[in-house]
């Protein structure tokens, strides 16, 4: 029987570190970190995520600045706003809630964010730095994945890591982070041949495809680490990409859904915001 990797508990540990960091700055009469969130339109998921960010900012002592724009806002107006936030020294991090309304070009808008305030690592500069192994902000979900893998105590170096999913947001940056830790990484996708066989040899398996219950016992190596990034709605409940019960029978460590990777992600956004303030020294 495997061990559950409790994302909520791991997030709580990181949050305590952030709380202490902010408290020390307050004691020293120094400015505390601030995060600007731009929401365009009325997407329910984005509103929920922004509300969670605000709640966590308040809990940890960061200052939230929420900006809501109408669904039909012009792209030029959004970019103008982002440039203003770039120049605002009271703002340390900027995040644009995705997805955007269809008439807006996501790349144009995210590229307008200063790489110094790009705490979700959406700009080409930060992504390029990540792949070159230079100091950059690490995307929040991949950072959470790596943090949870490390929390098991395993030595990642030399391990065979397999990622199912090649998205720019999760799959590719997670592969790079694991490469940076000296794992041997295979990225699988919809065109991969012999997927089960490849996955069944993985010491570390990361599932990020949005297909509930897709990863069954046949995909899993005995004693492996299974990280489930899936968040699909099934009969009104959130379900992961991994069959949790079957994974627990074979793997050494498994993240649950909910309570795994997702529980860490917003915390990592706060951590990046604190790092942005320290790097920029405003």
Name the binding residues.
165-167, 231
CB 262 within 8 A of CB 230: no
Cis status, amide bond into 99, omega within 30 of 0: yes
Which residues belong to the annotated binding site for NADP(+)?
A: 165-167, 231
218 token code pair: 């046949």
Alpha carbons 56 and 66: distance in angstroms, whole number = 13
18 token code pair: 């952030």
Beta partners for 38?
A: 67, 96
- Interior/surface letters 27-57, b for 16+ CB within 10 angstroms, e for the rest: eeeeebbbbbbbbbbebeebeebbeebbebb
Residue 188: partners with Cβ closer than 8 Å, 6 or more residues away: 162, 163, 164, 165, 166, 195, 198, 199
Alpha carbons 75 and 90: distance in angstroms, whole number = 24
280 token code pair: 């920029």
DSSP 242: B
CB 83 within 8 A of CB 39: no
């Amino acid at each position: 029987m495997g061990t559950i990797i409790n994302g909520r508990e791991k997030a709580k540990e990181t949050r305590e570190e952030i709380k202490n960091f902010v408290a020390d700055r307050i004691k020293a009469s120094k400015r505390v970190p601030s995060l600007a969130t731009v929401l365009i339109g009325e997407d329910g998921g984005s509103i929920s995520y922004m509300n969670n960010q605000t709640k966590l900012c308040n809990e940890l002592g960061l200052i939230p600045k929420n900006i809501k724009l109408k669904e039909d806002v012009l792209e030029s107006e959004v970019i103008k706003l982002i440039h203003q936030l770039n120049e605002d020294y009271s703002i340390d991090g900027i995040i644009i809630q995705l997805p955007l309304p269809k008439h807006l070009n996501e790349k144009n808008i995210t590229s307008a964010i200063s790489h110094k305030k790009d705490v979700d690592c959406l700009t080409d500069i930060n992504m390029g730095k990540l792949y070159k192994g230079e100091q950059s902000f690490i995307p929040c979900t991949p950072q959470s994945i790596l943090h949870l893998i490390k929390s098991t105590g395993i030595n990642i170096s030399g391990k065979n890591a397999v990622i199912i999913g090649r998205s720019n947001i999760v799959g590719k940056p997670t592969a790079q982070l694991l490469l940076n830790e000296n794992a041997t990484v295979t990225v699988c996708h919809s065109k991969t041949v012999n997927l089960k066989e490849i996955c069944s040899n993985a010491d570390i398996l990361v599932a990020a495809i949005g297909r509930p219950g897709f990863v069954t016992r046949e995909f899993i190596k005995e004693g492996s680490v299974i990280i489930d990034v899936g968040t699909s709605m099934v009969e009104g409940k959130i379900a992961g990409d991994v069959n949790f019960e079957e994974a627990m029978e074979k793997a050494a460590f498994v993240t649950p859904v909910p309570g795994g990777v997702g529980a860490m992600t917003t915390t990592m956004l706060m951590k990046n915001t604190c790092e942005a303030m320290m790097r920029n020294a405003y």
